[in-house]
């Protein structure tokens, strides 16, 4: 009967971790912190991994590139900004209003392989591109075992 | 009023609020929700894979504003070349179509997140008033297409006197 685990909770925890690895897939997919901070809308993103970098594209139409803030702290990439109304027009005269205005924020936990110093962002035609180069592979350090 | 009645009333109210909210949301989003179909030309394997992984639906949110002189329609379509946008007028309806292409990059890679839609799309927006489409102007800034349509200049209403017999 030694096959029965003594601590079922530990097993459950182990199982959860394994499921996280399967479902969560990649660490960058996790952006659960976004929901905690108030965000009026969320831009859609694509994240691609290339041999030497990750590239993130976000659809942020109607926001000037200089009004988008990209920051990096404790391994978390944050994209935030605000979509304001195009001009100081009054709110009268609108026959259709589907666009959402206000603050947006998205966060992504980055894998350790990203070099935070080398991150660069550009904006064009309402699309933000963030290039996240991977750090040069560190040479594994050999530790000698002394007798 | 009994507790049960109060509870019943509260639930009814909550249900009505939810219904109203849902209807407003559905109306707002479903009109903007636009089908994206795979483009037609020379797709390589990576492009095809991205088409398969991307949502197939995208939100092309629009707003139409009207004042005394013109109608102004703004549509969010990020990431297009201005030449790839087509604007037509069909029976008082503004029809915007185009294709959101995948940037052709030399470097190969693997997508971890695909939330953006790619491919051909078409969005039709009925216009609230008669416009002079021959004088329409359009520009594309920061991923927002703005179409300005001057209203039709109508002749001042002519008074027709009624004569007695």
How many CA within 13 A on the CB side of residue A68? 26
Domain count, chain A: 1
Contacts of A48 (CB under 8 A, 6+ apart): A54, A55, A56, A57, B109, B110, B111, B112
Length of chain B as a residue count: 165
> Domain B36-104+112-150 belongs to what topology?
Immunoglobulin-like (2.60.40)
| Closest Cα in chain A to B106 | A50
Contacts of A140 (CB under 8 A, 6+ apart): none
Q: What pLDDT is recorded for position A64?
A: 92
Q: What pLDDT is recorded for position B156?
A: 66
Helix (H) or strand (E) holding A24: helix A8-24
The DSSP output letter for B54 is: S
Strands A94-97 and B70-76: unpaired
State percent of chain A over pLDDT 70.
67
Residue B150 and residue B68 in contact, taking contact as beta carbons nearer than 8 Å:
no
Q: What pLDDT is recorded for position B138?
A: 94
Residue A70 and residue A119 in contact, taking contact as beta carbons nearer than 8 Å:
yes
Task: Identify the residue among B83, B102, B109 best suited for mutation to test binding to A, counting A beta carbons within 10 A and taking the highest.
Answer: B109
| Closest Cα in chain B to A99 | B61
Residue A145 lies in a domain: no
Confidence at A15, pLDDT banded by 50, 70, 90: low
Q: What pLDDT is recorded for position B155?
A: 61
For chain B, which residues score pLDDT lower than 50?
none
Average pLDDT over residues A100-114: 86
| Closest Cα in chain A to B29 | A98
Query: Sign of dihedral through CA atoms B120, A97, B139, B91?
Result: positive
List CB contacts (< 8 A) between A51 and chain B: 107-109
Q: What pLDDT is recorded for position A2?
A: 44
Parse chain B into domains and list their residue ranges: 1-31, 36-104+112-150
Q: What pLDDT is recorded for position A45?
A: 92
Question: What per-residue string of b and e applies to B51-84 under the rule 16 or more CB within 10 Å gives b?
Answer: beebeeebbbbbbbbbeeebbbbbbbbbbbeeee
Q: What is the ipTM metric for this complex? A: 0.71
Give the Cα-Cα-Cα angle A39, A92, B89 (nearest 5 degrees): 90
Range of the domain at A46: 27-86+99-133
Tell me how many helices (H) and strands (E) chain B has.
2, 10
List CB contacts (< 8 A) between A96 and chain B: 62-64, 125
Q: What pLDDT is recorded for position A1?
A: 44
Secondary-structure percent of chain A, ordered helix, strand, coil, rounded to 5: 20, 35, 45
Q: What pLDDT is recorded for position A27?
A: 46
Q: In whole angstroms, give the CA distance from residue A54 to residue A72.
A: 15
Residue A21 lies in a domain: no
Residue A62 lies in a domain: yes
Confidence at A120, pLDDT banded by 50, 70, 90: very high
pLDDT tens readout for residues A81-96: 998 877 665 667 787 7
Residue A138 lies in a domain: no
- Of A12 and A129, the structure prediction assigns the larger pLDDT to A129
Residue A43 lies in a domain: yes
Tell which residue, B157, B67, B86, has the closest CA to residue B75.
Answer: B86
Q: What pLDDT is recorded for position A58?
A: 94
CB pairs under 8 A between A and B: 112
Supply A20's token pair.
Answer: 């996280």
Smallest CA–CA separation between B13 and chain A, in Å? 26
Residue A47 and residue B112 in contact, taking contact as beta carbons nearer than 8 Å:
yes
Backbone conformation region of residue B13, classed left if phi is above 0, alpha if psi is from -120 to 50, else beta: alpha
CATH number of the domain that A61 lies in? 2.60.40.790
């Amino acid at each position: 009967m030694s096959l029965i685990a003594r601590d079922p909770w530990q097993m459950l925890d182990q199982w959860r971790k394994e499921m996280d690895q399967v479902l969560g897939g990649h660490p960058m997919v996790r952006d659960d912190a976004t929901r905690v901070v108030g965000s009026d809308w969320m831009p859609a993103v694509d994240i691609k991994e290339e041999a030497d970098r990750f590239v993130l594209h976000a659809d942020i139409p109607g926001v000037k590139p200089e009004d988008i803030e990209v920051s990096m702290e404790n391994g978390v990439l944050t994209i935030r900004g605000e979509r304001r109304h195009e001009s100081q027009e009054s709110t009268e005269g609108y026959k259709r209003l589907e666009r959402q205005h206000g603050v947006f924020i998205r966060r992504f936990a980055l894998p350790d392989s990203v070099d935070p110093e080398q991150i660069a962002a550009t904006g064009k035609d309402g699309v933000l591109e963030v290039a996240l180069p991977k750090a040069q592979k560190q040479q594994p350090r050999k530790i000698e075992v002394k007798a | 009023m009994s507790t049960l009645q109060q509870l019943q009333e509260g639930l009814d109210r909550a249900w009505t609020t939810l219904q109203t909210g849902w209807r407003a949301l559905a109306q707002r989003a479903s009109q903007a929700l636009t089908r994206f179909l795979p483009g037609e030309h020379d797709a390589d394997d990576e492009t095809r894979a991205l088409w398969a992984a991307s949502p197939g639906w995208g939100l092309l949110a629009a707003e139409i504003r009207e004042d005394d002189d013109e109608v102004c329609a703004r549509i969010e379509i990020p990431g297009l070349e201005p030449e790839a946008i087509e604007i037509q007028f069909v029976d008082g309806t503004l029809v915007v179509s185009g294709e959101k292409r995948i940037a052709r990059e030399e470097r190969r890679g693997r997508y971890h997140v695909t939330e953006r839609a790619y491919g051909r799309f078409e969005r039709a927006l009925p216009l609230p008033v008669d416009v002079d489409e021959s004088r329409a102007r359009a520009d594309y800034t920061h991923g927002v297409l703005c179409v300005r349509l001057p209203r039709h200049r109508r002749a001042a209403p002519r008074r027709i006197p009624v004569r007695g017999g």
